[in-house]
Amino acid sequence: MRARGAEVIVAGHICLDIIPKLTERKEGVETLFIPGKLVNVGPAVIATGGAVSNTGIALHRLGSRVRLMGKIGDDPFGRTIVQVLNGYDPSLAEGMIVAPGEHSSYTMVISPPNVDRIFLHSTGANDTYTVDDVNSEHLQGARLFHFGYPPLMRRMYEEGGEELAKLLQAVKNEGLTVSLDLAMPDPESEAGRADWRSILERALPYTDVFLPSFEEIVYMLHRDRYEQWLKMSPKGDLLPYADGELLRELSEELLAMGAAIVAVKLGEHGLYVRTTADAERLAAMGACAPIEDGAANWLARELLATCFKVDVVGTTGAGDCTIAGFLSGLLAGHALEETLQTAVGVGACNVEKADAASGIPTLDEVKSRMASGWTKRKLSISLPGWAEREDGVWEALR
């Protein structure tokens, strides 16, 4: 079945999010998990989560024509996922893959105010997702294919990531631009023990836009460094170790593996982007490749946009919505600077609500808010050899 004119397909991991309302705690989040203790919570928000839902619905709300291709079971959680998607637009659920006899993925999201989230997660039917779940008919008319969270999908990391590479290659062969997002696996799980450097070396030649978080990519490329920093960071916050030199080192590795654009999510510090210096690789990005005069704007660039100031209610889906903002700029053919600003603008709108999607306005509304003088957060990481541009974006001067 044709995707009703969808310009972007969002595939990969989807789940049902159950988010109890928590008040701010004086004692600290660790006091929530004491055996035998009763913790009073408010009503739960029931929402869909995962890359398919978070990035897909955000793109839909921004105004893109979207088809979602997640995999669910024929169980109550799966029916609830479809019901939630239908609440946004019935067309969003049309591409969903229902696997008889399998159970749907779900997540308990523990998200106290002013504290990063804790997830209790079951991967469910995501584990059986394969290249056979996506065929050329599903891709007709689309320009962009975004795939999210392979570390939470067993077939994507088994056998050295062979299935992930096959899937991305099949899509790339159809002429679409391919983007890829990650998720942090449980270090004690099979996914956490996988050789992610090797998996990425197989997948990134077929990936045009790669959008990991700082923690994820340090874990996957430099596990020893990640573990050392974690021991020195009681609260598990590794972002203080991010600086311009390290971001350049990481992006250099990822571009060498085959990606054309690397965007590293830095949480409250913003979004870093590095693009290829190879004009042929940029031109080979597929249907969303920057063209003609716009190509020069995307070639051999290194930029960072800080976040906009907002009152944070919850951070669920913040990274996914930031990605949606970036992809919307790419789809629209915008300059890299504008695309980067849009990404952090959409991410800021997301955290003003507890769930992943209800805070996302239209793209025009995001642009209007930015144009009205929306205040940016100050740069809080070290960027030696960088300078702030007139538009508030930081750029490496080398």
Tokens found for residue 104: 């749907």
DSSP string, 71-113: EEESSHHHHHHHHHHHHH-GGGGTTPEEETTPPPPEEEEE--T
The hierarchical CATH code for the domain 8-396 is: 3.40.1190.20
pLDDT score for 126: 98
- Residue 184's H or E segment, with its range, is none
pLDDT score for 27: 67
Domain boundaries defined on the chain: 8-396
Amino acid at 387: A
- pTM, to two decimals: 0.92
Output the average pLDDT for the chain. Answer: 93
DSSP string, 2-56: --TT-SEEEEE--EEEEEE-----SS-GGGG--TT------PEEEEEESHHHHHH
> Cα 311 vs. chain centroid, distance in angstroms?
22
Would the pLDDT of 181 be above 80? yes
Q: How far apart are CA 353 and CA 356, in angstroms?
A: 7
Residues 98-138: tens digit of each pLDDT: 999 999 999 888 878 777 678 888 999 999 999 999 978 88
